[in-house]
Structure 1
Amino acid sequence: MNPKTSIHYVYDIIKSHSDLSDFYALVFNALANSIVLILISYIIYRILRGIGLKLVNQFAKKSKTHFDDYLVQNKTFVNLSNLLVFYIISAFTEELYIDFPVFENLVSKIIQVLLVVFTIWTVRSILKTIKDYLKTLDNLRDKPIDSYIQVFMILLWLIGIIIIFSIVTGKPLMKFLIGLGTISAVILLVFKDTILGFVASIQVAANDTVRIGDWITMEKCGADGDVFEINLASVKVRNFDKTITTIPTYYLISDSFKNWRGMSESGGRRIKRAIIIKANSIKFVDQDLLEKFKKIELISTYVQKRQADIDKYNEAHDVDKSVIINGRNQTNFGVFRKYIDEYLKQHPAVSDDMTIMTRQLPPTAQGVPLEVYCFSVDKVWKNYEYIIADIFDHLLATIPFFELEAFELPSGKDLNLIKS
């Protein structure tokens, strides 16, 4: 059968069996052809969505790779089926409405616009599939893949909108591209944050500044928690109080923040805290205090050896020890420092492979700060705080045994004693 004859099949029937004018016969012919095309398209759509999609799902489940599973999850095949149906409709539009050029032109433009939109949706689902798949790879899991996908989508929509304007106005695509150059300044202004975010995400990825899963602190934005998403416009941080802070991506290169990844990847988490000792409680160790210190197991050997070296030095230099300040002497503060060192070395929660140090800081108006510097083996925040509390509970309770006093402002009963 001649294609032209089949397109005008209804027209021929109407003209042979009725006295309708050519115009109405052509209208009925176009309506009949439209109904047939819609029915055929719907049947193809149901076949693709039904049998085709079912076969695709079964294949995805049986295959070893997860890429096809993400294709199904992101409805790539659904979008492809929609796209195919509109391609079929567009292929017959010109011939179906050949007798109505104005209407044919309008329908053709509508279908072309829909084709552009469905093409973008199909590409979008493929890009989302690529993103989901790449995030399953160990070396890419913590990279800002979302940012790059968003950039591609923005460019894709920009191109799609230009093509749609070209279709609707009937002007060549090249004219729109030339006109786009003249409004580039406006585009740069509108997409300023997007461009900054894109540049920032590239720098963040290239310099490995932040990864998904990193614990970061940015006081300016009130962020203190784990990064769970990095995209083109923002970085999302789940704070430890379960709130979520959104930080503009370009802040990561324009402002300062603290990334705790180095601590997480190291052998421990740093403990750095000081106890302020009253200066007037620091004194030389006399014989009675020396005997008391010899009974403390952690420093017994050290105290005896140290005292033996001091006595040997004083005897060799004929030091007059009737005045305790003469010669060399131990102090309760120095012995206490040594006790803390030994206590930290034997503590099971303190890392032996990292720095363990007790140091005296410059005196202040409140007293002499004695700083403990070491690393806990457990880096989990809750456990870390428990370890610190355990260490300093012990040290604060130990201070009186060395006849030292910790500084604190007078309050409560202290004030009552002063009044009396």
Structure 2
Amino acid sequence: MTEINILRLKNENSIIDKLDSYISKNLPDDIVLISQITSKILIVLIIFLILDFFQRKVLLKIALKIVPKTKNILMNTFIKKNVFTSFFRLFPLGICYLLVPLIFYSHPQSFHILNLIFSIFLIVFIAKFFISIIDSYNDVENRDKSYRTIALNTFLEFLKIIIVLLSSFIVISIVFDLSSSNFFTFLGAIMAVIILVFRDPVLGFVAGINIANSKQLKSGDEIYISKYNLEGIILEINLVTTKIQNKDKTISTIPTYDLISTEVINYEPMKFSHSRRIKRSIIIDSQSVLFLEKKELDEMKINEELHQYFTSQKTENDLIQTNLGLFRNYIRWNLQNHLLISKKDTLMVRLLDPTIYGIPIEVYCFTNTSDLLEFEDIQAEIFEHIISISTLFGLKTVAGVTS
């Protein structure tokens, strides 16, 4: 015995049967069927509208009034992400879905169509409900800018895609009336296509887990990506894209998997070390590099600007034979005594390979602050001093300071 016949026996002499009987007795035969179906559709529609009005004006309002008083962050985020709205919408849909067999049992074709429609709507709204819960939970957890939230964020985004795909497959199986075996055959056949279509989400999911486990990057980190010549602060790392705020306040997005497939420089360790590297050079005119005569050296020693240096470095200076060597030694001494240069990190002044422009002399040291503005002021002050005092050593600079 079919489901329709069972329902017909159970509901015999019901209000619906009486309605069908009344229509068949009082209306012409050629419009009886359409009138019966139309009247039942109107009944379902009226019930749906009444229940929908009830859930919007009563249930939802009660939830929106009570929840804020709980001071619970997750529950209040449910309001923001419309979780309660999605949940209460299931109420009229679910009731009408259950009523369709009781109302349309005498019209199997109409029953099948309406049952199909309500089934699809229920699946869609259930999926939307679960996605809104995921969004709410993700929003709460992302308040903590940590490595754990990256893995959680990518996992939840991936979970949302799975929910959408699964819901789509269920809808397809309902529409085309696929059996369980045919459904899984269809699912297996389409998986290869899905992997190709959703290549970026899959790679992003792997990248997110990798970044979280290695603790390489997190939201709020200042980074530089040479591939894109991109420097800025990470605003968000999600399944497919990473959002970066550039120095000029513009926003750039890159594929998330690029964070593990290309070179990324993270400035955060430098900030936590409270130091920043100076690595800059000036070019000395090779024609101005000379051996020092005793007379020239004596004149330098009585110079007020260099007196303290010569006093503290007397023994070392006696071994230096050129003005460039003396100048290089002076720069190192000056940095060693600079209050804003770190003494615990590498400090050196070295000559680089000569160029057609002259001889580069490079300063390599670290400031004792990682603040960008303070760093630039310190670096500028050091090189302004180096350039201005080079003339006291009889040296000429070429084209000023170079990076």
TM-score norm. by structure 1 comes to: 0.82
Residues 284 and 331 in structure 1, CA contact (< 8 A), matched pair in contact too = yes
Partner of residue 253, structure 1: 260
1:391 offset after TM fit, Å? 2.0
Relative to structure 1, the CA distance from residue 236 to residue 10 in structure 2 (aligned partners, 3 Å threshold; closer, same or farther) is same
Relative to structure 1, the CA distance from residue 278 to residue 20 in structure 2 (aligned partners, 3 Å threshold; closer, same or farther) is closer
Residue of structure 2 aligned with 1:395, choices 366, 371, 386: 386
Residues 147 and 217 in structure 2, CA contact (< 8 A), matched pair in contact too = no
Q: Secondary structure at the match of 1:273?
A: strand
Letter in 2 for 1:356: L
Letter in 2 for 1:400: T
Partner of residue 292, structure 2: 284
The whole-number CA distance in structure 1 between the counterparts of 2:372 and 2:266 is 15
The more displaced of 22-31 and 108-117 is: 22-31
- How much identity, in percent, do the aligned residues show? 31
Relative to structure 1, the CA distance from residue 203 to residue 232 in structure 2 (aligned partners, 3 Å threshold; closer, same or farther) is same
1:207 offset after TM fit, Å? 1.8
Residue of structure 1 aligned with 2:310, choices 303, 327, 333: 303
Instruction: Give the alignment of 1:336-347 within 5 angstroms.
Output: 336-347=327-338
1:142 offset after TM fit, Å? 5.8
Instruction: Give the alignment of 1:222-371 within 5 angstroms.
Output: 222-279=229-286, 280-284=288-292, 286-287=294-295, 289-290=297-298, 292-296=300-304, 300-307=307-314, 328-329=319-320, 331-371=322-362
Which of 1 and 2 has greater Rg?
1
Instruction: Give the alignment of 1:21-420 within 5 angstroms.
Output: 28-139=35-146, 143=150, 145-279=152-286, 280-284=288-292, 286-287=294-295, 289-290=297-298, 292-296=300-304, 300-307=307-314, 328-329=319-320, 331-408=322-399
The whole-number CA distance in structure 1 between the counterparts of 2:176 and 2:317 is 99
Residues 116 and 175 in structure 2, CA contact (< 8 A), matched pair in contact too = yes
The whole-number CA distance in structure 2 between the counterparts of 1:354 and 1:71 is 50
Unaligned runs of 5+ in 2: 1-9
1:3 offset after TM fit, Å? 5.8
The more displaced of 336-345 and 265-274 is: 336-345
Asked if 1:6 corresponds to 2:15, the answer is: yes
Q: Secondary structure at the match of 1:404?
A: coil
Q: Secondary structure at the match of 1:99?
A: coil
The whole-number CA distance in structure 2 between the counterparts of 1:156 and 1:142 is 20
Q: Which has the higher contact order (CA 8 A, sep 6+)?
A: 2
1:296 offset after TM fit, Å? 4.2
Residues 144 and 231 in structure 1, CA contact (< 8 A), matched pair in contact too = no
Partner of residue 5, structure 2: none
Question: What is the CA deviation profile of residues 229-254 of structure 1, one whole-angstrom value per residue up to 9, with x for unaligned ones?
Answer: 22222222222233333222222233
Report how many aligned residue pairs link the two structures.
Answer: 389
The whole-number CA distance in structure 1 between the counterparts of 2:289 and 2:176 is 91
Relative to structure 1, the CA distance from residue 21 to residue 140 in structure 2 (aligned partners, 3 Å threshold; closer, same or farther) is farther
Letter in 2 for 1:286: K
Q: Secondary structure at the match of 1:221?
A: coil
Residues 215 and 227 in structure 1, CA contact (< 8 A), matched pair in contact too = yes
The whole-number CA distance in structure 2 between the counterparts of 1:256 and 1:357 is 27
Q: Secondary structure at the match of 1:83?
A: helix
Relative to structure 1, the CA distance from residue 396 to residue 130 in structure 2 (aligned partners, 3 Å threshold; closer, same or farther) is same
Letter in 2 for 1:376: T
Question: What is the CA deviation profile of residues 314-354 of structure 1, one whole-angstrom value per residue up to 9, with x for unaligned ones?
Answer: xxxxxxxxxxxxxx456433443343234334545433443
Residues 142 and 213 in structure 1, CA contact (< 8 A), matched pair in contact too = no
Q: CA RMSD in A?
A: 3.0
Residues 225 and 265 in structure 2, CA contact (< 8 A), matched pair in contact too = yes
Residues 169 and 187 in structure 2, CA contact (< 8 A), matched pair in contact too = no
TM-score norm. by structure 2 comes to: 0.85
Unaligned runs of 5+ in 1: 312-327, 410-420
Residues 292 and 322 in structure 2, CA contact (< 8 A), matched pair in contact too = yes
1:27 offset after TM fit, Å? 5.0
The whole-number CA distance in structure 2 between the counterparts of 1:405 and 1:10 is 108
